Structure 1
Amino acid sequence: MQQLAFMDIELDKETRRKAEKLLSSYRNLDAIIKTQELEIAPKMTINYEPSESQRGNQFYSDTEQVVMLRERVDFNKLTKEKLHRIYNSLKPIQRQIWDLRYCDGMTDSYVYNELELTDRAYYRLKREMIAIVAEAFCLS
């Protein structure tokens, strides 16, 4: 973890919020991907001929919707893979912080008391973890 010395740990509020949102979504991404894949599953044959139900001025294409859903699924899979790699590269104590704070939704004071850390050490480890996520996703 010597490379953290070269990384900017101080993040602005917006970047920090985006990184924390990614940390929180780590556990839910599997369920999101599975449900999106179920939506992609063919329900009926796509018809390329206009039908009576398409009488408006709005353009709608089932094929386009399927492609957009596939792109969203691919994006979520890539995000999940990146987060998994980051999670595995962290220190064990940072993994515990990630699990308790962002996956289980515990408060900061509960987490650093549970892990028997001082509040200063806890916030330093948490700040490093958030900076790593922000750097990996080019948020900063």
Structure 2
Amino acid sequence: MQLAFFNTNLTKESRRKAEKLMSSYKNIEAIIESKKLDLEPRMTANYQASESQRGNQFHSETERLAIANQEIEEYVITRRKLSLVYESLKKEQQEIWEQRYIQGKYDTDVYSDMGLNEKRYYRLKGEMIAVVADALNLI
């Protein structure tokens, strides 16, 4: 049985989400560490209103910590998936990802720097975005 080829015809929304995640690939680790630091206990006095003075809010510190831990776990999973996808790409596609989405260069600068013609560049880039979108269930 033959494997199905990736569908490179993505919706604008899924393409935009995939490109946004690719752009934030290097920053996700900093976000994870920042959120972990927010969870650490503080040793200073906290002059926050007591539970009886908060009004009609339904949350507790335990609930806040559980939600924050869930957010961190989602970032960790996304980072792992992006790393797996990045490592599985062709060298040219990794270079496109680096230059276009991490360094923020324009498409024309990237394909001229790499010595690729425009058609090949956009084909490689489209395949790369389709792989990212499929791996992150954005399709």
Report the TM-score, using the length of structure 1 for normalisation. 0.89
- Residue 106 and residue 53 in structure 1: after superposition, are their counterparts in 2 closer, same or farther (change >3 A)? farther
Deviating beyond 2 angstroms after TM superposition, the runs of 4 or more aligned structure 1 residues are 50-55
Q: Residues of 2 paired with 1:104 and 1:60: CA distance?
A: 41
Shift of 1:7: 1.6
Matched residue type, 1:21: K
Task: Quote the residue 2:110 is aligned against.
Answer: 111
2:96, 2:125 within 8 Å by CA — same for their partners in 1?
A: yes
Shift of 1:25: 1.1
Does 2:78 match 1:79?
yes
- Residue 27 and residue 112 in structure 1: after superposition, are their counterparts in 2 closer, same or farther (change >3 A)? same
Q: Report matched runs for 1:39-54 at 5 Å.
A: 39-43=38-42, 51=50, 54=53
Shift of 1:125: 0.2
What is the number of residues matched between the two proteins? Answer: 133
Q: Residues of 2 paired with 1:52 and 1:122: CA distance?
A: 58
- Residue 9 and residue 107 in structure 1: after superposition, are their counterparts in 2 closer, same or farther (change >3 A)? same
Residues 73-129 of structure 1 deviation map (CA, whole Å, 9 limit, x = unaligned): 111001000000000000000000000000011100110011011111100000000
Q: Which runs of 5+ in 1 are unaligned?
A: 45-49
Percent of paired sites with the same residue: 49
Shift of 1:54: 3.1
Report the TM-score, using the length of structure 2 for normalisation. 0.89
- Residue 115 and residue 58 in structure 1: after superposition, are their counterparts in 2 closer, same or farther (change >3 A)? same
Shift of 1:71: 0.6
CA RMSD of aligned residues (A): 1.8
Matched residue type, 2:88: S
Matched residue type, 1:84: S
2:6, 2:127 within 8 Å by CA — same for their partners in 1?
A: no
Q: Report matched runs for 1:64-103 at 5 Å.
A: 64-103=63-102
Task: Quote the residue 1:137 is aligned against.
Answer: 136
- Residue 86 and residue 118 in structure 1: after superposition, are their counterparts in 2 closer, same or farther (change >3 A)? same
For residue 105 of structure 1, give the secondary structure of its aligned residue in structure 2. Answer: coil
Q: Which runs of 5+ in 2 are unaligned?
A: 44-48
Task: Quote the residue 1:10 is aligned against.
Answer: 9
Matched residue type, 1:69: A
Q: Residues of 1 paired with 2:78 and 2:6: CA distance?
A: 21
